[in-house]
Structure 1
Amino acid sequence: MNAGRIVVGMSGGVDSSVAALLLRDAGFDVTGLFMQNWVEDGSGDCRAEDDRRDAVAVSGKLGLPIRFRDFSREYWDGVFQHFLAEYAVGRTPNPDVLCNREIKFKHFLDAAHELGAEGIATGHYSRVDCVRGEYRLLRAKDRGKDQSYFLHQLGQRQLAATRFPLGELHKDDVRRIAAQHQLPTAAKKDSTGICFIGERDFREFLGQYLPARTGEIRDPSGNCVGEHPGVFHYTLGQREGLHIGGVRGRAQAPWFVVGKDVERNLLYVDQGHDSPWLQSRSLRSETMHWIASHAPATRFACTAQTRYRQPDEDCEVELHDDGSVSVRFARPQRAVTPGQSLVLYDGDTCLGGAVILHTDAPAVTHQFTRNDAA
């Protein structure tokens, strides 16, 4: 019996390939759709044409029709310009979150409805259920691959129309299923890099849009310890790419980014992975998005993630009149970064999330003064 028409976002990877296979075998009337969301500029390994060919090959193997849509303008307007604006003011944005909200579960969903489909499916590792008429976003069974963190901006309309066929599977199972059915993508490497832009030298790529200026790297006391090629290339807690040599009077220990002053083009660093300049106990968010369309309460306890694949962190949440929240963690957190996403959970249920506005870490709030008047 036909279970209804559904459009699967075919990325050319193994996950979306197996998602389409599982839905086909479950009796759905499946159509694939390949999204082009970036106009290749020749600056890196975008692999869009390779992915397109693989999506076509998989669809042919499964006997499924495939459609194509160009969302590159929508991606530029809805995702990439915001990405650049955030970097320009020294924050570290998460384009995958916006990409899911603005492209994969907005324009893609609209395109599926135009094709007469009842809903969409993707190869994300997450789950959806419905309890008393309310749709919930749940973590995947494979916690190591769970992607609910990147999906926290979805709402009731999107979840009601979305299936995640891989939510109950582990990645090894997905590879095994693909190999058993001899799918062309069975052994294909998972994609990395910025959503839809692909793998490339990030510093060089960003430099095409945000011209960099060299500047001083200083320790928290204001002493110059090196030079950076552009302050917005770095994020809190970063160790790589600092190229700080031996500093007189300092131990031979690694340096980590602990603060940025974009206005004065200064990068601040300290030694030690757990530098006190990176520690925070609380944060304030921008306006929260609640998956259920409302907060659980004005004050409540839950767990939180401030970065992908982070262990659950116990916290207390207070909702403010402007829709933002204050979060107090049970223990200090390292390198909580403005511009990244705070995502709240009740067990396996994702409650929603928001962009981190600021924290109480001294690297963010302390006014560096010594040797710092220049």
Structure 2
Amino acid sequence: MRNKQSQTVVVGLSGGVDSAVSAYLLVEQGYDVRGLFMDNWDAEAEGDEQGYCTAAEDFQDARRVAEELDIPIQRVSFAAEYRERVFSYFLEEYSAGRTPNPDVLCNTEIKFKAFLDYALRLGADWIATGHYCRVRRDEYGAHLLKGLDGNKDQTYFLHGIHPEALAKTLFPVGELEKERVREIAVEAGLHNHAKRDSTGICFIGERAFRQFLGNYLPARPGPILTPDGQEIGEHQGAMYYTIGQRQGLGIGGVPGYPDAPWYVADKNVRDNTLIAVQGHDHPLLQHVGLIAAQPHWLQAPTNFPFRCSAKTRYRQADQTCEVELLSEDRLAVRFDHRQRAVTPGQYVVFYQGEECLGGAVIDQAIRAENPSSIPRRETA
């Protein structure tokens, strides 16, 4: 391998502290570092004044970081790619009554495809981001490992990237705790050392979600029902809600029911109805397995069925399970313990220890009341 001084790294500078410290560490290691700020949401074209203000502020932070580190920076728009590859899918999934995770597709299609392709055309040897994860390289390729900071690990969002993209990527803060990253930012004199972490939709940011989605999928009020069909409230559109959701239902006191929170247990976009239940762990919110589609492997299993751990949401602890291949593009997952609110449209992501193997899109959740409905692969 050539020495670091002759290797060029293009860093995705977002304006946040994680990418800023990533760039700083690479400079300190002797790489030829260049910054790139991605504009991926065309706020003006979308009539989105809030998005425009956020992007402008983030770019100014990224530009100032580049000045502080004495590295060049470019501002590049991938808005067309984002609209076509990510946001259109996001709207299609909500229209179909599913709950997509745009951050996964955003990484797959923009940060580790459009950005990578652009960086390679600039002559980069590597790209780098501020994600909290690690890469181990050996004769079998690049392995995606959890970040050292378990509270910040972001492998769930990166499971869908192409193995060749992973092989070209550096994650400088993956070996650090978040607290140490902020300390390094202070030591390096980076102005954004205390900047709050961004949340919300990838590249779009923090919004009043239902209002934002309503700009593209107009409200369709309909009934909220109990499992036995009693109407207990009105929703603003079944597509806006997700399984397990508590906030925003607006259900008041219901005669015959205790004064306790209600949760979305099911939804039917075709009939525009929601089913709500009381109790965080109501039986209709308990699942023992799932069917998933479009599996993507960073390290493909050699045999099925196989045992591993999995997550069906970002903040979830690893859950032990068995994974069976039903067909080339479908998997069945059987969990050892009940899972709450497994949600179609989200991703199930698989792990062996600290290594992320890959994942798939959840197509169907299997309730605890009907475990026999989890199919098995038919054998000749």
**Smaller-chain TM-score bracket:** over 0.9
- Superposition TM-score, scaled by structure 2 size: 0.93
Aligned to 2:73: 66
Is residue 350 of structure 2 the alignment partner of residue 344 of structure 1?
Answer: yes
Is residue 31 of structure 2 the alignment partner of residue 28 of structure 1?
Answer: yes
Worse-superposed segment, 222-231 or 39-48: 39-48
Aligned to 2:375: none
- Aligned partners of 1:7 and 1:32 also within 8 Å: yes
| Mapped partners of 1:248, 1:110: distance in 2 | 60
Q: Which runs of 5+ in 2 are unaligned?
A: 372-380
| Mapped partners of 2:223, 2:17: distance in 1 | 45
Residues 104, 118 of structure 1: CA spacing in aligned structure 2 closer, same or farther, 3 A cutoff?
Answer: same
Matches within 5 A, 1:95-106: 95-106=102-113
- Aligned partners of 1:237 and 1:335 also within 8 Å: yes
Aligned AA (1:48): A
Matches within 5 A, 1:1-374: 2=5, 4-40=7-43, 41-42=47-48, 44-45=50-51, 47-292=54-299, 294-361=300-367
| Secondary structure in 2 matching 1:242 | coil
- Aligned partners of 1:280 and 1:332 also within 8 Å: yes
Q: Which runs of 5+ in 1 are unaligned?
A: 366-374
- Aligned partners of 2:288 and 2:368 also within 8 Å: no
Number of equivalenced pairs:
364
Deviation at 1:180, TM superposition (A): 1.1
- Aligned partners of 1:278 and 1:363 also within 8 Å: no
- Superposition TM-score, scaled by structure 1 size: 0.95
Give the RMSD, CA atoms, in angstroms.
Answer: 1.4
| Secondary structure in 2 matching 1:360 | strand
Deviations 1:179-202 (A, max 9, x none): 111101101111111000011111
List structure 1 runs of 4+ shifted beyond 3 angstroms. 43-46, 362-365
Instruction: Give the share of equivalent positions with the same residue, in percent.
Output: 52
- Aligned partners of 1:3 and 1:26 also within 8 Å: no
Deviation at 1:327, TM superposition (A): 0.5
| Mapped partners of 2:124, 2:347: distance in 1 | 32
| Secondary structure in 1 matching 2:345 | coil
| Mapped partners of 1:98, 1:244: distance in 2 | 34
Aligned to 2:376: none
